Amino acid sequence: MHQPAPSADLRHRTIEAPAGRLHLVEQGAGPLVLLVHGFPESWYSWRRQLPALAAAGYRAVALDVRGYGRSSKPVGTDAYRMLDLVVDNVALVRALGEETAVVVGHDWGANIAATSALLHPEVFRAVGLLSVPYAPPGGPRPTDVFARMGGDQEFYVSYFQEPGRAEAEMEPDVRGWLAGFYAAMSADTMPADGAPDPHFVARAGGRLRDRFPDGRLPAWLTEDDLDVYAGEFERTGMTGALNRYRAMDRDWEDLAPYAGAPIEQPSLFVGGALDASTTWLAEAIDAFPTTLPGLTAAHVLDGCGHWIQQERPDEVNHLLTSWLASLPG
């Protein structure tokens, strides 16, 4: 098992941004690489990448996305629209005294990274996407799509979109809920084929955690790691994180002018073969020649689940550093 990343060289700081403050952790010196986490995580999900990128000659910076950790948590779902998260990323690059950056994201962070690159190619010179492939804006309204999924079951995104509903399940036992959610989407602990799918809930009073696997933590997650995640969400609550799901229809409206738009910059995709994001979004991956014309490489890691940079840190670090080294200066 990997030992915890050394913390002595990690530099914590906050910067001023439109939402208030953004907390970030940085390590190393050189070209800037901005790391954007997903749900339900924090800067800590990049703990294995920060030292590896620093050792390879980069200034690696992992932030707490607004609504998470030590970053500000504005009130109201509109404050979590994608356009505002992109503004945060641009503000962070500027506050660090840089003109450009490579942006790398995982899960929701992949969507944030992709949209940052789409809207601001002058700032984000390349984009790396982990677990969630790029799909251009457009198509039907998101809530309509999710409402049609699952038949007599309810898709988890719809479940998350109703204010207060998911919080009532999560917040009485944040640590236990996070442990189950992480295990449900990790290669070594996810439910067996044929078991109820943890991406759905029963429509009448169902809970996601009713479908989480019981027992051991995934191999990548120590008790101490879980304490870090749980401590942050016990302090902040879950609403800031969940508001990203609740802003999706607003994003659909905001980004309508970019319907079908490709990302032209050099790009990288790394997914897990056992991750629903890879299988459900296979058509998005197939469309990469059109949607990501600057794609340098796409990798799908056998036997890997959703938490890719934590489940397979050595492979992901090698892929990231090799890709970064291949980019134009």
pLDDT tens-digit readout, 72-131: 999 999 999 999 999 999 999 999 999 999 999 999 999 999 999 999 999 999 999 999
Tokens of 303: 């036997």
pLDDT tens-digit readout, 261-286: 999 999 999 999 999 999 999 999 99
Between the alpha carbon of residue 251 and those of residues 34, 138, 142, 295, the distances in Å are 22, 10, 9, 25
Q: In the prediction, which pLDDT does 7 show?
A: 52
Query: pLDDT grade, residue 1 (50/70/90)?
Result: very low
- Least confident window among 21-35, 81-95, 207-221: 207-221
Q: How far is it, in rounded angstroms, from Cα 277 to Cα 269?
A: 12
Catalytic residues: 107, 306
264 or 20, greater pLDDT: 264
Alpha helices in the chain (DSSP H): 49-55, 82-95, 108-119, 142-147, 156-161, 165-170, 174-184, 223-236, 239-246, 248-254, 276-280, 282-286, 288-291, 308-311, 313-326
Q: What is the mean pLDDT of residues 297-318?
A: 97
What CA dihedral angle connects 300, 220, 316 and 48, to 10 degrees? 160
Q: How far is it, in rounded angstroms, from Cα 329 to Cα 234?
A: 42
**pLDDT score of 5 more than 70:** no
Query: pLDDT grade, residue 329 (50/70/90)?
Result: confident
Q: What percent of the chain has pLDDT over 90?
A: 88
CA 190 from chain center: how many Å? 19
Q: What is the mean pLDDT of residues 22-40?
A: 98
Do 137 and 112 form a contact (C-beta atoms < 8 A)?
Answer: no
Do 214 and 198 form a contact (C-beta atoms < 8 A)?
Answer: no
Query: pLDDT grade, residue 8 (50/70/90)?
Result: low
| Peptide bond just before 40 cis, omega within 30 deg | yes
Q: What is the mean pLDDT of residues 204-224?
A: 91
pLDDT tens-digit readout, 146-170: 888 878 899 999 999 999 999 999 9
69 three-class SS: coil
CB atoms within 10 A of CB 122: 9
Q: In the prediction, which pLDDT does 232 show?
A: 97
Residue 324: closest CA among 264, 263, 262, 266: 266
CB atoms within 10 A of CB 322: 13
pTM check: above 0.75: yes
Q: In the prediction, which pLDDT does 3 show?
A: 40
**pLDDT score of 224 more than 60:** yes
